[in-house]
């Protein structure tokens, strides 16, 4: 009898086309879940008959309360090599092997600039007006050349965002708790004296930090109040780094020029969520990692993870 493998949150029905699953098809039956299951009780019931689960990024939490109700689960594969919503101790206690996959930093870098440019040049407003027969030119775009780009975080993604900003002729500065002048000099950017100095002096602020106890709520009402009324905030990192309610208030009251978001406290974003209708907001449904190359890596490595597990030699183990 073949093992059953659930592939969660395949919204685009892309998993089977993104990789060659034939190496495991004789031993594994793959079942695609195209709709997100948010309720833990429903998820436990739907996954009860599966030995293998492939989950996309950190969209579906796997706490002990869920893992304890999946007695048949043997292998849990999460895309990427970092996942903060899996209880690894509970997985080990239940005899579940957890594995990851490769993940490229290029797609989120590109989406960051798509959001930033879309905001700066009012692309959605102008496109909608053009298609609807509206006014010909109704906005005046913000310039990038000579403006300051402030980066919260200068890791693998932040440093690549910085390079693009420099290519546009922007003045780029960065800050994080552990950032050193040596690292800033290496990337070719200025080291901001403090988080507050970076926020108050930047025309565009982009977040590229890992979520941790130190970064959760790092940008709240007090920090947003430091931004210029002409400044834009872009978050393609983690939603919890920014106080969502404080950002909504700043957008509604026009205290900042706009925001670009790709990450949200609840995903998928509920139909009636206030962010869906917030003014001065350009938002995308967590597309930062959604690209052909990333999906090819995720699912081809998922197949490799399954092969290795079946051979008794798991690879890319997490936890």
| pTM of this structure | 0.93
Which is nearest to 149 in space by CA: 163, 136, 134, 135? 163
Pairing state between β 171-175 and 75-78: unpaired
What ranges in the chain are assigned the alpha helix state H?
40-47, 64-67, 88-93, 106-120, 123-131, 156-167, 181-187, 195-201, 221-224, 244-252, 292-310
The pLDDT of 48-56, averaged and rounded, is 97
d(CA 240, CA 212): 9
Q: One of 148, 160, 208, 238 is an active-site residue; which one?
A: 238
257 falls in which pLDDT band (50, 70, 90)? very high
The pLDDT of 253-266, averaged and rounded, is 97
148 has pLDDT over 90:
yes
Question: Half-sphere exposure of 60 toward its Cβ, with a 13 Å CA cutoff?
Answer: 28
User: Which tokens sit at 31?
Assistant: 């079942």
The partner residues of 86 in beta bridges, in order of sequence, read: 62
How would you label 55-87 residue by residue, b for 16+ Cβ within 10 Å and e otherwise? Answer: bbbbbbbbeeebbebbeebbbbbbbbeebeebb
3-class secondary-structure state, position 68:
coil
* Confidence (pLDDT) at 6: 98
The pLDDT of 242-257, averaged and rounded, is 98
The whole-chain average pLDDT of the chain stands at: 97
* Confidence (pLDDT) at 270: 94
Q: Nearest 5 degrees, angle CA 120-CA 282-CA 134?
A: 75
3-class secondary-structure state, position 188:
coil
174 DSSP assignment: E
The answer to whether the CB of 293 falls within 8 A of the CB of 274 is no
d(CA 63, CA 288): 25
Q: One of 40, 267, 280, 316 is an active-site residue; which one?
A: 267
User: Is-catalytic flag, 160?
Assistant: no
CA 187 to chain centre: 23
d(CA 158, CA 135): 37
DSSP string for residues in 235-253: E-S-GGGB-HHHHHHHHHT
d(CA 238, CA 245): 15
223 falls in which pLDDT band (50, 70, 90)? very high
* Confidence (pLDDT) at 274: 97
User: Which tokens sit at 90?
Assistant: 């509970």
Which is nearest to 88 in space by CA: 102, 104, 100, 72? 100
d(CA 45, CA 9): 16
User: Which tokens sit at 184?
Assistant: 């800033």
User: Is-catalytic flag, 223?
Assistant: no
Query: What would the pLDDT profile of 278-311 be if each residue is shown by its tens digit?
Result: 999 999 999 999 999 999 999 999 999 999 999 9
The pLDDT of 154-176, averaged and rounded, is 98
Cβ-in-10-Å burial (0-12, 13-18, 19+) of 170 comes to buried
Pairing state between β 232-235 and 258-261: parallel
d(CA 241, CA 237): 8
23 has pLDDT over 90:
yes
User: Is-catalytic flag, 238?
Assistant: yes
The pLDDT of 181-208, averaged and rounded, is 98
Task: Using only the alpha carbons of the chain, give its radius of gyration.
Answer: 21
Q: One of 147, 160, 286, 301 is an active-site residue; which one?
A: 286
* Confidence (pLDDT) at 1: 86
* Confidence (pLDDT) at 41: 98
3-class secondary-structure state, position 98:
strand
d(CA 150, CA 238): 17
Query: What would the pLDDT profile of 66-113 be if each residue is shown by its tens digit?
Result: 999 999 999 999 999 999 999 999 999 999 999 999 999 999 999 999
User: Which tokens sit at 25?
Assistant: 């098809």
């Amino acid at each position: 009898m073949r093992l059953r493998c659930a592939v969660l949150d395949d919204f685009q029905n892309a998993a089977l086309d993104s990789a060659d699953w034939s190496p495991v098809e004789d031993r594994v039956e793959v079942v695609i879940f195209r709709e997100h299951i948010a309720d833990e009780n429903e998820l436990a019931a739907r996954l009860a008959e599966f030995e293998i689960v492939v989950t996309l990024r950190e969209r579906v939490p796997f706490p002990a309360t869920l893992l304890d109700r999946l007695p048949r689960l043997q292998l849990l594969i999460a895309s990427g090599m970092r996942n903060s919503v899996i209880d690894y101790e509970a997985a080990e206690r239940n005899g579940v092997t957890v594995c990851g996959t490769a993940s490229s930093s290029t797609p989120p870098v590109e989406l960051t600039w798509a959001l930033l440019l879309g905001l700066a040049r009012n692309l959605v407003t102008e496109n909608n007006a053009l298609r609807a027969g509206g006014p010909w030119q109704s906005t005046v775009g913000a310039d990038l050349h000579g403006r300051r780009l402030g980066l919260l975080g200068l890791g693998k993604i932040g440093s690549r965002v910085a390079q693009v900003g420099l290519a546009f002729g922007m003045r780029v500065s960065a800050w994080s708790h552990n950032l050193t002048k040596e690292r800033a000099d290496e990337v070719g950017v200025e080291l901001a004296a403090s988080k507050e100095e970076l926020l108050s002096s930047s025309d565009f602020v982009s977040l590229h930090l890992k979520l941790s106890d130190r970064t959760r709520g790092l940008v709240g009402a007090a920090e947003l109040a430091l931004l210029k009324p002409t400044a834009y905030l872009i978050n393609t990192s983690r939603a919890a780094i920014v106080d969502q309610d404080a950002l909504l208030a700043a957008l509604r009251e026009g205290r900042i020029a706009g925001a670009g978001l790709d990450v949200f406290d609840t995903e998928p974003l509920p139909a009636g969520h206030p962010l869906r209708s917030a003014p001065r907001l350009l938002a995308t449904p967590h597309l930062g990692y959604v690209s052909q190359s990333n999906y090819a890596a995720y699912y081809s490595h998922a197949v490799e993870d399954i092969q290795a597990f079946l051979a008794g030699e798991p690879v890319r183990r997490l936890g």
